[in-house]
Amino acid sequence: MEIREEIEAREAAVLASWATLSQNSKGRQTREDPDPVRSCFMLDRDRVIHSKSFRRLKHKTQVFIAPPGDHYRSRLTHTLEVNQIARTIGAGLNLNLDLIEAIALAHDVGHTPFAHAGEQILDRLLSCGFRHNENSIRVLTRVEQHKGCNGLNLCAEVLDGVRCHSGYGTNEPEAFTLEGQVIRLSDKIAYVQHDIDDSIRAGLLKMEDIPNEYLKILGYTHSNRIATLVINTIKNSRKLIHNGEKPRVEPEQMVENALRGLREFMFQAIYRGPVCQAERSRAEFIIEHLFAYYMKHPHRMTPLFRTIADDEGLERAVADYISGMSDEYCISLFQDIYVPQSLVPNAYRVLEDEL
């Protein structure tokens, strides 16, 4: 028996009946021989974590663009916090933690430079629109390269969880696995709480600014709020399941309303606030000019994106190219293209010789 088969047998023996077993996966778009050691979800997790798109998350904005100091969240640390929260909820519900981790690590690989500011700008520039969750699917299935082929060839359950992680409305599509549902909620738990923490660190928010009606339910500290949301979600979801209802991952209504209320407060006070709006206008200027430049000079893009331009159109290729950039690289390209600088070799040495 292969080691992978032992792992799959252990999953079947230990995980809850409502968990997603790797041996029952809907599979990949292109069939592959199974790995001798890793289950299909373990393999997907490893492919994501070794991808270039995942590594670039360390230089992509979470909320504030290039803030001073080392302690503000980046898109990578957000991803790790989502993974930590999701794995805890998953453990409490006896779900497949390998699937949870694969979705968590992959869910934001399609995010743009300059966070949601970049997403909104590309959504306006692209005739077909732009959403970061859909772009994450595109990164995982087209832009990333694996063994000379397009995409990482991930399992259907991972791609579905990534696609359905975004949004918090009632009309948003829901993941077909409970593990995918865990990621969607964990994403909201993570960013609402850590964005409060970062906003306070930046001096843009004080605890007394936050509506007390939400804090008295969730808690008055960062860790207390996360603990309340995680524990309540586990207990409520278990209650729903044990009562014979359709398995769902959700906290009690009062707790969820408090989370939604905090999220809406953050939209009003921070995400749509004056600092983020000012940063957004600068990001818009950079991305608009880069977009126009590469639409006129597609030969300046790397070979992969020139191929995408030939296959799927120039607009799609330019959007892929820009959305994959880190903040720093995006700014650096803008400076190289548009900021005047000396093109004379050894300019300072020539000046010294003349003197």
Share of the chain above pLDDT 90, in %: 85
Structure tokens at 257: 């309303």
pLDDT at 129 over 70: yes
Q: What does the pLDDT read at residue 228? A: 98
Please compute the mean of the pLDDT values over residues 293-313 and round it to a whole number: 97
Per-residue pLDDT at 215 exceeds 70: yes
Residue 172 has a pLDDT of 80
- Average pLDDT of 169-191? 93
- The total of other beta-carbon atoms located within 10 Å of residue 208's CB is 6
**Does the structure show a pLDDT above 60 at 3?**
yes
The whole-chain average pLDDT of the chain stands at 94
Determine the average pLDDT of the residues in 85-110.
98
The confidence score (pLDDT) of residue 338 equals 93
Of 141, 161, 179, 169, the C-alpha closest to 21 is 179
* Averaged pLDDT, 48-56: 97
More confident residue, 355 or 156: 156
> Residue 355 pLDDT more than 60?
no
- What is the predicted pLDDT for the residue at 352? 53
CATH architecture of structural domain 3-291: Orthogonal Bundle (1.10)
Partnered with residue 149 across adjacent β-strands are: 146
- Domains in the chain: boundaries: 3-291
| Angle CA 18–86–229, to nearest 5 | 100
Angle in degrees, 0-180, between the axes of helices 253-266 and 178-201, rounded to the nearest 10? 50
End-to-end CA distance of the chain: 80
Answer whether residue 256 shows pLDDT above 70.
yes
Residue type, 217: I
Query: Residue 150: which pLDDT band, with cuts at 50, 70 and 90?
Result: very high
Q: Is the pTM of this model over 0.85?
A: yes
Average pLDDT over residues 146-156: 95
**Two tokens, residue 144:** 């990333």
CA distance 184 to 176: 12
**DSSP assignment of 241-294:** HHTTPPP-----HHHHHHHHHHHHHHIIIIITSHHHHHHHHHHHHHHHHHHHHH
What residue spans of the chain are helical by DSSP H? 3-14, 40-49, 52-56, 75-92, 97-106, 115-125, 132-138, 156-163, 178-201, 212-218, 222-242, 253-266, 274-296, 303-312, 314-323, 327-338, 347-354
